[in-house]
Chains A and B, each alone.
Chain A
Amino acid sequence: MTDLMTLYVPLETTALSLGADEIVMALLSEAEKRGQDVEIIRNGSWGLSWLEPLVEVVTDKGRVAYGNMTVEDVPGLFDGGCAALCQGLTAEIPYLKTQDRLTFVRCGLIDALSLEDYQENGGFQGLEKALAMTPQQIVDQVTESGLRGRGGAAFPTGIKWNTVLGAGDGQKYICCNADEGDSGTFADRILMESDPYCLIEGMIIAGLAVGATEGFIYLRSEYPLCREILGEALINARDAGWLGQNIRGSGKAFDVQIRMGAGSYVCGEETAMLDSLEGKRGMVRAKPPLPAIHGLFGQPTVVNNVLSLATVPIIMAKGAEFYQDYGIGRSRGTIAFQLAGNIARGGLVEKAFGISLRELIEEYGGGTVTGTALKAVQVGGPLGAYLGEKDLDLPMDYEAFSDVGAVLGHGGIVVFDETADMAEQAKFAFDFCAIESCGKCTPCRIGSVRGAELMAKIQRGEKGDHNMALVRDLCDVMENGSLCAMGGMTPIPVLSALKHWPQDFKKADFGVKS
C-alpha cells in the first residue's frame, strides 16, 4: 500500500471537450498498474479554460495544477514529472489570484454536487440570514448592494424584486434565465456546472423576498451537462430540506423545476422566455405590462439571469456594503468577463467593474492565440458593438460603454485578428437576426432579411453608396421600431463595424443595375 494520491479533474464542459474523461480513465489504469491508491475528485471549472484539461494534485503545500494534460502525460504525473505542464499552486496562478472572486468563489474549488463542500465554503450562509429577515429587508439589502441584472440589460435587481413583492398575495414565480445564447459567453454554464447550489440558494432567497413558492430554470438545450448537474443538485437540496414545503423547518415553501429550451436564441429575451415556459412559441411580448406584474401564466414574476441570482447569496451573507465596495460609478460589484474567440488565454475573469478592456485582453488574455494583430473586439454578444484598438482603454462599466454606443451585456469578449472581414461580420449580424427573429414585429422580421440582402450587394460592390444609405436608414427603423433588443440592437454590430472599418465595405463599384 502506498500513500493515497488525491487528484482533481474537472467535470465541466470545456474540460470534457478536451478529453478530461479520457484522462480520468488513464489515471485510474495507470494507478492500478502501479499499485497506487488514488482518489479522483471531479471538481468544477476554475475558469482557466485555456489550461484545460487542468489536473490538480493535492500536496502538503496545496493543490498543484498541471495544464493542458493529455493521456500521454499521465504516467509522468505519477513519476513527479510533467514539469513543463506544471503551473504551480492553483491558488497562486496570477490569472486566478488577481481576480475578485465573489459570485464564482467556489467554482473549481469544490465538487459541484457535494453539499458538504458547499457548506464548508460559505454555502447557505446567505439563506440562513434571509430566513431570519422580513421580505422587505431582503429586498432592501439587494437594492442597497447595487446589484444590476447580469443578463445584459443591467436593470437594478432590488427594484425589480420590490415591484414583485408589492404585487399582491397571489401565486408568484421566480424564473431563472439560463438561456445563455450569446456567442462568447459561458459564465452561466460554468457557474451551473461548478456551483449549482449557489444558483439554487439565490433562487430560494428570491422566493423568500417576493413571496414566490415556485421557481423555474429555463435552460438552453445546448447545455446538457448543466441539466444533469442541476437536476442532481435539486434532488440533493430537496433531500436535505433546502427545498420543499418547509425549508429547514422555517415553515417557508419553495421548489424549483428545470425546463429545457429548444435552440431558440430569442427565448433569452425575458418575455419570449416566459411564453416558451408556458409551452408556446417563444414570441416577444409588448411591455407594459411588466413581467414583475403580469409575468409567467399572468402572475407576478421575477425574471433574473443565472449570475444575478447566484450573486444574491454572497450579498446576503456578507452584506450590501461589502458588495457595494467593488466597482465604479453606478456599476457596483463584480462582473464575470469571458475571454473568447482569437485569444491566447481564454477563460473566465471575475473582476470589479472599472478594469479596462485592454487589461482584460492583454494582461489576462495574452493577446491573440495566433500571435497576429488584433483588429476587432465584440463585447456583449452578437448584439454588441465591434470595438477597435483605440477603444481598448474603455473602462468596463455599463455607463461608459453606453456613452460610446456599445454594450457590456453579459460580459462576453470575442477577439478577432487582422484577418477578420468586418463586412462579413456585419452581414452575419443581419443573417443571425433573420434566423432567430421571433417574427412578431416587422422591423426585425423583414428588416433583418433586407439588411442581409443589402450587405450582400455591398460586398459584391453593387451601388455601394446607395445601398449603404439604405442600410443606415434600415438600421434607424430597426433600432427605433423593434419590439425587443433582437431587432433593436442588431444595428449596433452593423453600424460599429461600418464606423470603425469603412474600408472593409468599399469594394469596387461595378455600377451593376439595381
Chain B
Amino acid sequence: MSQDKTHLEKAEWDEKEALQVIARFTDLKGGLMEALHGLQEAFGYIPPESYDLLAAAFNLSKAEVYGVKSFYHDFRSAPRGHHVVQICQAESCQALGSRALTSHVQNKLGIKLGETSHDGHFTLEAVYCLGNCAVSPNITLDGKLHGRMTETHFDSLVKAVAL
C-alpha cells in the first residue's frame, strides 16, 4: 500500500539520510520492520545500499535483513512509476467483475500486473483486499481508494492524471 509520500519519484541514494531514518527505529523493540517502512517512505523503495547499514544497526547479518525485506510484498526492490494503480484481486471484488476490470486496466495502460510502463508513467500492482468490500470492485490510484469502480470511471481517472 502506498502511504509513502514520495513514491512518485525515486530519491537519490543518500547514506546520511538513510542513517538518520534508521536511527529513528534502532531503539524500538523489533524496529527493523519500521526502519524498512521508513526507508521506503524516504527513497520510494528499499535501496540495496541500505542492507549493510540495517545489518549493523540491528546487529543482524545482511542475509537476515534481506530475508525480512524480501518476505513482505510491500517492500520494493525498485522504484515505482510516476502513477501507481492497484487493483484488488480478492474474492469480493472478483464477485463484481474484477477479473474483467483487470483485463481492461491492463489493456488501457499497456502493462500487466506487477509491471511499470517503459516511460515510467504507470505502475500496476495486484493487491489482496483493501477492506472496502461492501462497495467492490476497488482500485487505488496514487494511494487514493476508489470504490464501485467501472471501466468508464477508470478511464476518466487515468485521463485526469495522464494530462
Contact = CB atoms under 8 A, between A and B. Distances in A.
Interface of A: 13-14, 16-18, 49-50, 52, 180-186, 189, 220-224, 227, 259-265, 276-282, 297, 338-343, 346-348, 369, 378, 382, 412, 414-417, 420, 425, 428, 432, 435-436, 438
Given A189-B131, A340-B136, 7 more contacts: A14-B134, A184-B92, A184-B133, A185-B133, A227-B3, A279-B32, A369-B96
B74 A49 contact: no
Given A222-B127, A262-B72, A297-B29, A17 B92 contact: no
Given A221-B74, A280-B68, A425 B94 contact: yes
17 contacts: A13-B132, A18-B135, A18-B148, A185-B131, A186-B131, A189-B131, A263-B127, A277-B33, A279-B32, A279-B68, A280-B30, A282-B72, A339-B134, A340-B136, A341-B96, A414-B95, A436-B128
A166 B8 CA distance: 51
Contacts of A282: 71-72
Interface stretch (B11-19, B102-110, B138-146, B154-162): B138-146
Contacts of B146: 17
Contacts of B58: 279
Interface in B111-128: 127-128
A49 B148 CA distance: 11
A346 B128 contact: no
Q: Which of A50, A222, A342, A348 has the most B CB atoms < 10 Å from its CB?
A: A222
Contacts of A428: 91, 94
A180 B90 CA distance: 13
Contacts of A425: 91, 94
B128 A183 contact: yes
B53 to A, nearest CB: 15
B87 interface: no
Q: Which of A50, A279, A369, A428 has the most CB of B within 10 A?
A: A279
Contact of A183 (B1, B67, B129, B145): B129
Contacts of A185: 129, 131, 133
User: For A184, A259, A281, A415, which residue has the most chain B Cβ atoms within 10 angstroms?
Assistant: A184
B147 A17 contact: yes
Given A222-B1, A347-B134, A412-B133, A181 B128 contact: yes
Contacts of B145: 13, 16-17
